Amino acid sequence: MKRAFIALALVSALLAGCKSEPGDELVGKWTGVVQVTDEDVDAAVRAGTATPEIAAAAREFYGSLRPTLELRDDRTYSMRMGTDASNGIWEIKDGRITLRLEGVDPEVGYVMSGVPAKDGKTITMNDRNGQQTSTTVFERDED
């Protein structure tokens, strides 16, 4: 009886130690593709933030970028897109992942926010502060 109790206590302790947090499955390295749609280009032109020529050039430039993202199990991240780099913290809430610059007001200091695919193979994110000017789809790197 005493042995069964000890065995049960050990199994319970092991299972409690294996409990994972939401988002643990996202930890790792990812490579992205920036997608700028015709609608994104048209919106920039309509808003007056770009001429058609500049918007087309920006679309080509961003489409050539291959951003990298590393999500760490301590809930920090590092991301590089072209020559720009950012570091900070990431969180997942209600199935949505958000990258935040550490030490910056959360209302203005997030870099990207998006939704991981249910199969865990991709994360689709919108750019800074939800300005829908592009979407980046990250795919998990093969180790």
Residue 27 parent element (H or E): none
Residue 136 covered by a domain: yes
pLDDT tens track for 73-104 = 999 999 998 888 889 999 999 999 989 887 77
Residue 12 lies in a domain: no
pLDDT > 90 in the chain, percent: 34
pTM exceeds 0.85: no
pLDDT at 126: 81
Residue 23, φ and ψ in degrees, nearest 5: 100, -10
Is 7 domain-assigned? no
The dihedral sign for the CA sequence 22, 25, 30, 36: negative
Q: What is the pLDDT of residue 7?
A: 43
Domain that holds residue 82: 21-140
Rounded-to-5 percentages of helix, strand, coil across the chain: 30, 35, 30
Q: How far apart are CA 66 and CA 5, in angstroms?
A: 54
Q: Establish if 15 belongs to a structural domain.
A: no
Higher-confidence position of 33 and 41: 33
CATH number of the domain at 62, please. 2.40.128
Question: Total domain count for the chain?
Answer: 1
